[in-house]
Amino acid sequence: MENRSKSAASFRKKLRTWYKTHCRKLPWRENQDPYRIWISEVMLQQTTVQAVLPYYRLWIKLFPDVVSLSKAPLQKVLKAWQGLGYYQRAKNLHKASKIINDKFETQIPQNYEELRKLPGFGPYTTAAVLSFAFNKPYIALDANVRRVLMRLMSLEGEPNPNNDDALLQFLKSYLSRKGMSLLNQALMELGALVCRPKNPFCLLCPISEFCQAFEEGKQEVIPRPKKRNYAKIEAVVAIIRGNGKYLIQKRPPKGLLADLWEFPGGKRKAGEKLEEALQRELKEELSAETKKGKLLTKVHHTYTQFQVTLYAYECSLKNEPHLNKDHHKWVTLRALRRYPVPSGSAKIIKFLEKREKIHGQE
């Protein structure tokens, strides 16, 4: 027992010393501002630090605190999030900020149950905010920490939240309540910089002597990578212009890419030609008929759950489209920059901008 606590103390010391020397200087680590920690933790889910940094800086500039976020229009919030994916996260930040503003006098609650009830505060985000901002003794298990722990334990298989209890149990035997927050962050950083998914730098690892996978030579095969089967979708998009403006429409408020703006169009059905899909979609969405469209560009984008190929056709309509003022807008390309759009549509907009630059307004 004494040996065990001695080795746990040595584990903590090695990890702490390594972290103090090697941790990256990141903007959300400059102080313990709970709002900034909250925003960074939500952005970092499913996304790397490098990808998050420009989004985080812009976000803090636009919405420096809970109050400014709570008062911002949703469209501005979604626009700032554009490209990060999982837009529900941005909506939840927005909703939660309003509740914090109205019910908690702009202060992020420090109580687990209260915080957990706010939109978007799952077990991970709740533990991370309480631990990193308020030094509360909660452990936040992210993908990096899960991987490090699975390797330390030599636990085979895919990373699976069903194993979280076993991982927490194991980790608790090494941590003490005091300084838990710092050690939690140190494990995350170790996972990001040393115990990487592929080719971990075991020879540079401060806790290699505690690592069962390293001892068994299994660090490259634990954890087993998750299999990803992307659904492949093909969709047609109508580029409809009138008086130098483009017709865009708002997606429904629920479901995939909810509340974002896009060009009219939709999925091609099995056995349908692209032109046929275009005709059908325009009829369904705008009660409009189109003359034969001209294929302008084809773009691909991989979202988290599927890969899409968008075929953008320039169309001229034979009749007036049925429009709804809340869901359809005619906008110039310049004005379109203010609208949050899915990443696939953003690629089409880039194409149109380039075309206008070269040819001007045709």
By the criterion CB under 6 A, which residues form the site for ligand SF4? 148, 151-152, 194-195, 200, 202, 205, 207-208, 211, 213-214, 219
In angstroms, the first-to-last Cα distance of the chain is 80
Amino acid found at 247: L
Question: Smaller CB distance to ligand SF4: residue 199 or 324?
Answer: 199
Task: Give me 65's structure tokens.
Answer: 């605190």
Smallest distance, ligand SF4 to C-beta of residue 196, A: 8
Task: Give me 12's structure tokens.
Answer: 């903590």
Q: Is 362 a catalytic residue?
A: no
- Distance, CA of 183 to CA of 73 (rounded, Å): 38
Which SS3 state, helix, strand or coil, does residue 331 take? strand
Smallest distance, ligand SF4 to C-beta of residue 216, A: 10
Question: Smaller CB distance to ligand SF4: residue 14 or 329?
Answer: 14
Question: Smaller CB distance to ligand SF4: residue 66 or 194?
Answer: 194
- Distance, CA of 350 to CA of 348 (rounded, Å): 5
Smallest distance, ligand SF4 to C-beta of residue 8, A: 16
Question: Smaller CB distance to ligand SF4: residue 145 or 341?
Answer: 145
Using alpha carbons, select from 294, 339, 345 the residue that is nearest to residue 315.
294
- Burial code of 60-95, b = ≥16 C-beta within 10 A, e = fewer? beebeebeebbebeeeebbbbbbebbbbbbbbbbbe
Using alpha carbons, select from 75, 78, 72 the residue that is nearest to residue 97.
72
Smallest distance, ligand SF4 to C-beta of residue 139, A: 17
Smallest distance, ligand SF4 to C-beta of residue 45, A: 22
Question: Smaller CB distance to ligand SF4: residue 77 or 205?
Answer: 205
- Which residue among the candidates 41, 189, 262, 281 is catalytic per the annotation? 41
Residues classed as catalytic: 41
